[in-house]
Every structure is written in C-alpha cells, then in structure tokens.
Amino acid sequence: MLDILPLRWLARIQNGGIANQFFMALMVTIPVLNFGMLMGWQSPMTPILQAADGPASEPITDDTISWMASVTFFPPIFCGFLVGDLADRWGRKITTLLTSLMLVISWVITLFSLDPWALITSRAVAGLACAGCYVVTPLYLKEVASDNIRGALGSLFILSQNLGYLVVYVAGDLLSFDTVLWMCTAVPVLHMFAFLAMPETPVFLIKQGKIQEARLALAWLRNTTTDDKYLEEEIQVMEREEEYAKSVQKATWKSIVQDKTTFKAFRISLNVMLSQETCGYLVVLMYAGSIFEQAAESISLHLSPNKQTIVVGAIQLLGSIVASCIVEKTGRKWLLAGTSLATGLSMLALGMWFYVTSQGVWLPGWLPVLAMCMCIFADAAGYQPVPYVITSELFSFQHRGMVTSFVSSVDALSDFVQTKAYDPLLKLLGIHWVFILFSIVCFLGTVYTVLYVPETKDRSVEEIYALLEDGRQKEKRKDVETGKEISRL
C-alpha cells in the first residue's frame, strides 16, 4: 500500500497539469524571490557597511541607508504604466526576462562599487525590476493557471518574496559579505537562461494570432494533448474573447470610468491594495529589532540582530505557505477580511503595550513579541497576497495590464512615502500612536472587505461583474458569427 500512495499522489498532481502549472509559477516568481533577497540584503549587511573596517571605502551613513530603503520604490511610481504597456506589446515572457536583467544590473553595480552613489543607483535600478515583479508576475500567474488552482498560484507571488527575505537573512548570518553578494547575483543570471525555455501565456499568444503556439503552450500547462476536447474548448473561448476585444473600442481609462461595473471593480482593486500597503506592515518590520530588545529586558530572549531577522523571515514564510494552502478553500474575501482583522488587532495590541509601558506601568515583554509575530504571520497569510489575486481576477485581459500597472504605481508611491515619513511620524506622534493609527487602517480595510469586496474564487469576470451589479440580470454578449455566449477571461 505504501508504495502505491506516492503513485496516487503523483497521478493526482499531474491530473490537469497541476505539477506543470506549479513549476511554471515557480519559474515566473524567481525574479520576485530575488527582489525579496535584494530588499532583505540591506538588513544583515547594514552593520557591515557601516563598520569602520567594513568592505566599503568609508562607513555608509544613516542617510544613505535611508535612501537605499526608499529609492527602490521611486521608479515604479512612474514605470508601472511602461511595464504594463511592454507586457501587452512584447509579451509577459520578454518583460519577465527584462525584469531579471534589471536585477542582474542592480547586483553588478553593487559588486563593482560600494560607494554611496553606487548603492543608491543600484537600488534605483532595482526599482525598475520592482515594477516588473509587481505588474507582470500577477498577470503571468493568472493567465497560466487553471481556475481550481488560480488562487494558490497567485499567492506564490508573496511567498516567493518572503522566501527571498529568509534566504538572504540566513545567508547573511552564515556566509561572508562577498559570498552573499555573488549568490544574489547568480540567481537572476541563471533565471534568464532557464526562462528562455518557458512558454508565453496562451492568452497573449492568442492575442498575437499565434493559435498553434497557444495550443501547444496550453497543452503543456494542462498536461494533455493538443487534440484534447477540453483544451480546444478553452482555446475557442480565448479566440472568441479576442474577437470581441477587436470588435470594440480599444481599452482606455475612459472606457474603465464610463462602464459603471468596471469602474466599481477598479475602485475595489485600488482600495484593497491601498489598505494592504498602508497597514503599517513595513513599520512593524522596521521596529522588530526594538521590540526584541525591549522584550529581552523582562524575558530571556537574547537574539543577535541577524537572528531576529531570521525569526521574522521564518514567520513571514510560514504565513505565505499557509496562504498558498488555504486560499482555495477559504476563498479570497473571508481570508482577506480575517487576516486584515488579525493584523489590526496585533497593531492595536502593540500600540497599547507601548503606550501603557510609557506611562510607567509594567507589562510582560512577551506581549509585544507575540503581537508582532501574529501581525507578521497574518499579513503574510492573507493581507499581503490576496489583494494581488483579487486584482488579477477582477478584470478581463483588455483591462488587466492597465489596472495592475496603475495600482502598482500607487502602491510604490505609498511605500516610498512610508519609508521616508517613518522617522518624522515617529517623532511627531510616538510609536504607540503610529501603531494605533495603522490598526484603524486595518479595521477599516476589514469593514470594506466584508461590505464591498466580492468573492472571486472559481468565478469568471462575467460572474463577478454580475455580483457587482447587485444581482441584476447580466447582459450576455454573443459572438456575431457563432452566437455563443462568451465570458471575459
């Protein structure tokens, strides 16, 4: 019996091409993993760069470190639209390769120079890769996934980023400065060569009129033959959708605003992403070291800064794994609502702990550590990945690239402002009020999700828009020649 069970498991994951789609998703998210490594690299390497006997020609100042943290989010503010246009013109595959190329350039700059201008320039180039990751990767994952695993594949986006954080945290604790730098550089270089063998998304190939190539790509993704009847039905749906797209006016922002249902979907997408980006998660990560230090005063918890970041990274990764495992069972709406509520409660607990202890009242040090861990876990388990899944599912492929580009630009602006405004806000209000304000953002996000966000799990765009229209009779679009109903992919 035991020798049969693995065979059954293998047969199950091959059914419908689940294994192939997960492999494709892993290949697509490697640039995101490397971007997570790039962002996490600063944490274990900052003490080394600021040391008098460090590898830099002179110790790196706090101001340079601050700019390194924030400038990464500056290029995506303006480049999100460009990346989205490239993805629609040149394809998801080429744009993904360009993303890896930007990561290679960023790491190579750091390899050649550790002067302040080089470190900041490296991060600015990485910002171009950031735009690629946050715009193209969700599109790619959406367009290669079967409906039954669409959410699981979509959640791999944040999982890969958090894995990148953890890998570089551990590497920074165990390996030398130069070894870590070369390891980080090798990842996007190897990815560029390996990804050349990966297929373009069938949706984009259909859009380019490459029907046979789309059929071959889809057959591999679904682990079936090109003459499979279900595969042919899926191809026909894509063809009818493309014919409809060509028959109507080209998708523009005007068309999004004028169509009430599409504009409502756009508002929902923007609101859930803004709630996610302004929930204060970055502040919790920035303040994790201080929380560990204050906890050490009352409990036996003495961890080096590197060990602290490893703990944080492990919790992030665990939350991301949980999200990938349960998102298809819980659905998007309630997983997002539950994790935003949990994040808000954690933020509130942190704020209250800092406020009460600032008044001279003793509270145990394990309380903020527990609240911080709960916040990081809940955020990674749903609050971070689910908005990307929802955004990719709310729009047809005519609008998907435009909206994703715009939302990523707004998110980048939010991250840039947060990283630069963190210290002034901390000095103006105090850490307790900062956390309390962020908890209010999370609670508002929870209420908004419950009241206005539709459940997108296992639903086509047409079905989702019917829900957004408050159950009114939806209009059926018919193909002029065949008279068949079609749904927006």
Helix, strand and coil content of the chain, in percent to the nearest 5, comes to 80, 0, 20
What is the reported pLDDT for 301?
Answer: 61
* DSSP collapsed to 3 states, 390-449: HHHHCCCHHHHHHHHHHHHHHHHHHHHHHHHHHHHHHHHHCHHHHHHHHHHHHHHHHHHH
Nearest by Cα to 177 from 294, 60, 333: 60
91 in a structural domain? yes
Q: Report d(CA 201, CA 221) in Å as an integer.
A: 10
237 in a structural domain? no
Mean pLDDT for the stretch of residues 91-116: 94
Residue 296 has pLDDT above 80, yes or no: no
Q: What is the CATH number of the domain that holds 288?
A: 1.20.1250.20
The answer to whether the CB of 156 falls within 8 A of the CB of 108 is: no
The answer to whether the CB of 382 falls within 8 A of the CB of 323 is: yes
**Between 251 and 484, whose confidence is greater?**
251
What is the reported pLDDT for 477?
Answer: 38
Q: Report d(CA 20, CA 205) in Å as an integer.
A: 18
What is the reported pLDDT for 14?
Answer: 52
Q: Report d(CA 467, CA 455) in Å as an integer.
A: 9
If one counts the domains in the chain, the total is: 1
Residue 266 has pLDDT above 80, yes or no: yes
**Size (the chain), residues:** 489
Q: Report d(CA 151, CA 334) in Å as an integer.
A: 13
Q: Report d(CA 446, CA 276) in Å as an integer.
A: 11
Q: What is the CA radius of gyration of the chain?
A: 23
277 in a structural domain? yes
Residue carrying the six token digits 């609240």: 371
Nearest by Cα to 86 from 246, 204, 250: 204
Residue 317 has pLDDT above 70, yes or no: yes
58 in a structural domain? yes
Structural domain containing residue 263:
12-198+253-458
What is the reported pLDDT for 473?
Answer: 39
Residue carrying the six token digits 């570089």: 168
Q: Report d(CA 296, CA 300) in Å as an integer.
A: 6
Residue 209, φ and ψ in degrees, nearest 5: 80, 10
Determine the 3-state secondary structure of 223 from DSSP.
coil
25 in a structural domain? yes
Q: What are the pLDDT digits (tens) for 140-161?
A: 888 888 877 877 888 888 889 8
Q: What are the pLDDT digits (tens) for 27-40?
A: 999 999 999 999 88
CA dihedral 173, 179, 185, 191 (to 10 degrees): -80
What is the reported pLDDT for 181?
Answer: 95
Q: Report d(CA 286, CA 167) in Å as an integer.
A: 18
Residue 227, φ and ψ in degrees, nearest 5: -100, 10
The answer to whether the CB of 385 falls within 8 A of the CB of 154 is: yes
**Between 50 and 252, whose confidence is greater?**
50
Give the CA diameter of the chain: 77
Binned at pLDDT 50, 70 and 90, residue 286 comes out as low
Nearest by Cα to 269 from 370, 404, 363, 117: 404
Q: Report d(CA 194, CA 186) in Å as an integer.
A: 12
What is the reported pLDDT for 246?
Answer: 67
- Quote the mean pLDDT of the chain: 82
Which range, 258-262, 340-344, 421-425, has the best average confidence (pLDDT)?
340-344
- What's the DSSP call for residue 381? I
Q: Report d(CA 126, CA 160) in Å as an integer.
A: 17
227 in a structural domain? no
Range in 70-84, 177-191, 336-350 with the lowest mean pLDDT: 70-84
239 in a structural domain? no
The answer to whether the CB of 101 falls within 8 A of the CB of 126 is: no
Mean pLDDT for the stretch of residues 402-414: 80
What is the reported pLDDT for 203?
Answer: 87
Nearest by Cα to 374 from 473, 288, 453, 446: 288
406 in a structural domain? yes
Crossing angle between the packed helical segments 150-174 and 305-330, to the nearest 10 degrees: 170
Nearest by Cα to 154 from 357, 392, 350: 392
Please give the single-letter amino acid code of residue 91: G
Determine the 3-state secondary structure of 485 from DSSP.
strand
